[in-house]
Structure 1
């Protein structure tokens, strides 16, 4: 194979989940977008390794989907496949480059490799994670970033974290922001009205879409909402239960808000635009994000956004939303009150949000990812020669 010719690129898609749970959120969306758009923006031959048995029969144009003979939905099974079976497949399938889209690569990797780091929350906020999950992520991420030919990060903030916490040189890191699906857009009022009736959504409500886990800071949102008193807006927190979520539900009971705060559970991706369109305001008080897709999706639907002024969220929201410190309950309550009572402000935020969201697309994400592949593949050493990872 000559340099510049189409290469064989494999993507470890074992975190692609078809379950109605938090596993079908952020990283799942990232992997799915790569599988959909990479064949549209590059001429490489793509193979996707899958581990969810429910993926049987699922196809993507231009992708050779390979389903593992056993389920890898459990962390242990997935780790075994990644470290034992994946290297064998890479050799047998004559892969030129493998992409680990979520933190991990095989330790004995026979090909060039790229790993994506979405955030380092498990290093910065270890108490928010279960011990086993935290230790695995810490170990695999450190080893993957040291062994990979290239490291992709989803924001400039994450790039800084990876340089500072993992000692990866800046020249080795590529910032490729996440994108947004085109069906996130303002919808006709009559369709939103029908959906509201079908799902029995409140007539007026504040929305938060988030996995229910400590880092998402939902207790601050609930306390801020409680200070607003008996307003007409309900609070709707949509998302699957992640880990350490019990105190969120306990707080709602403690504050006697059970009839005003609704947890509808995991929201299907195809329905999300309707939820955003139906809401008067979207609030995302996360303590730390590597990117932060929900605020971007809400803005693309024309919904005003309030979020935190920390980590990568200012990169995503820009000047289109209101930002407050994630631990300042009163500041969050004041911001919510401002948007709900100032129609001109809400309208201005909606317009600015739409303009901001236009700068993000999954197709652009795929194109920039393919450009990383191309840059690394251009350094390929001919077969029979010794491969030296550039640093």
Structure 2
């Protein structure tokens, strides 16, 4: 059995693209061979500039760099179909398969942001995903969704049959995301001049992350009743109201915005924070919540979209727009050390249930269903 993997969203390590979908593709390439029958072969189709190597995966590089969306679409729709006949099964690892596709196909869908929050995307990208994702999913033998929330959206928004969709929850890097020693944490805080105690959010600063609700709740506490709040992440679309709310509430000295965090530092930030706050209203999976839990950091997050799938039973989950609920949660986070200890322990236990081996195993099962 020969499986072809469209891995053109794989990015060079150390670049800003080496996150999100790249992270999922990278880990599937790491773990698929070990979860597959011994006689299966895998070939990953990648851009010409990718020099990565994976055990058990043959790398087939394109004749040109497909980093730009236009070049990738040209390769995907015009060149890729002629390559696919060598495979028994084709896996489109990010939303879209070629329109002319001669092989049984599995398509992975991460979220339906382009339908739920179309304003987040450029017009061209939105129209492309809206047109090609639905067509690809209807033509595919199987669809893998990274959460039950995404599966439900595929059923609700695209009218796809539930029995065609397999849920393949994500894992995390257990070497990176783990509790660190006090010495490592204190050295990091000293190097970055961070407060001894602080609350943390990590993610793009944009409306979907619902930071205005968090800021409104935070503003209701006197300075001696709260910790400094770090909003760590790059500026996304329509980020200006976030900074306006910080200024309007006189919180410029209490809310820190260090900007984008390099991937090598994220685990140190999670470990250094007293509590991780993630009030997002929509996530395909919610990997930051899982990573924070894996570091032993107590989590408070929203009770919508995919977030309860990750945090329920471990962290505190709240209605995203109910300011009073967030005020009460922050009060407990500040004053209740026993809750923080319990949430830390429960988070570590819940995080351990999510592994890349399991993601790969479920993906192999989806392949087998597609070939049955």
Same fold by TM-score greater than 0.5: yes
Among 121, 128, 132, the residue aligned to 1:140: 132
Among 176, 191, 195, the residue aligned to 2:168: 176
Change (3 A) 1:72 1:199: farther
CA–CA distance in structure 1, aligned partners of residues 83 and 266 of structure 2: 36
**Residue 200 of structure 1, CA deviation:** 3.1
CA–CA distance in structure 2, aligned partners of residues 52 and 269 of structure 1: 24
Indicate the SS of the match to 1:264. Answer: coil
Q: Does the 8 Å CA contact 1:220/1:326 hold for their aligned counterparts?
A: yes
Which residue number in structure 1 is paired with residue 231 of structure 2? 237
Which residue number in structure 2 is paired with residue 334 of structure 1? 328
What are the ranges of 5 or more consecutive residues in structure 1 without an aligned counterpart?
Answer: 1-6, 380-391
1:113-152 matches, within 5 Å, as 113-152=105-144
CA–CA distance in structure 1, aligned partners of residues 159 and 16 of structure 2: 30
Change (3 A) 1:167 1:126: same
CA–CA distance in structure 1, aligned partners of residues 16 and 332 of structure 2: 31
Deviations along 1:173-196, one digit per CA (max 9) or x if unpaired, are: 111111122121111111222222
Which residue number in structure 1 is paired with residue 202 of structure 2? 209
**Residue 50 of structure 1, CA deviation:** 2.0
Change (3 A) 1:221 1:130: farther
**Residue 20 of structure 1, CA deviation:** 6.0
Among 165, 180, 186, the residue aligned to 2:179: 186
Which residue number in structure 2 is paired with residue 88 of structure 1? 82
What are the ranges of 5 or more consecutive residues in structure 2 without an aligned counterpart?
Answer: none
CA–CA distance in structure 1, aligned partners of residues 59 and 257 of structure 2: 35
Change (3 A) 1:61 1:200: farther
Matched, 1:222 2:215: yes
Matched, 1:62 2:59: no
Which residue number in structure 1 is paired with residue 307 of structure 2? 313
Change (3 A) 1:225 1:21: farther
**Residue 333 of structure 1, CA deviation:** 2.7
CA–CA distance in structure 1, aligned partners of residues 274 and 138 of structure 2: 45
**Residue 22 of structure 1, CA deviation:** 5.9
**Residue 295 of structure 1, CA deviation:** 0.8
Which residue number in structure 2 is paired with residue 347 of structure 1? 341
Which residue number in structure 2 is paired with residue 74 of structure 1? 68
Deviations along 1:61-109, one digit per CA (max 9) or x if unpaired, are: 1222233333322222221121112212223xx1221211221111111
Change (3 A) 1:332 1:38: same
Matched, 1:50 2:42: no
Deviates more, 1:279-288 or 1:217-226: 217-226
Q: Does the 8 Å CA contact 2:276/2:300 hold for their aligned counterparts?
A: yes
TM (normalized to structure 2)? 0.92
Q: Does the 8 Å CA contact 2:48/2:63 hold for their aligned counterparts?
A: no
**Residue 264 of structure 1, CA deviation:** 2.7
Which residue number in structure 2 is paired with residue 102 of structure 1? 94
Matched, 1:375 2:337: no
**Residue 19 of structure 1, CA deviation:** 7.0
Q: CA RMSD in A?
A: 2.0
Aligned residues: 368
TM (normalized to structure 1)? 0.88
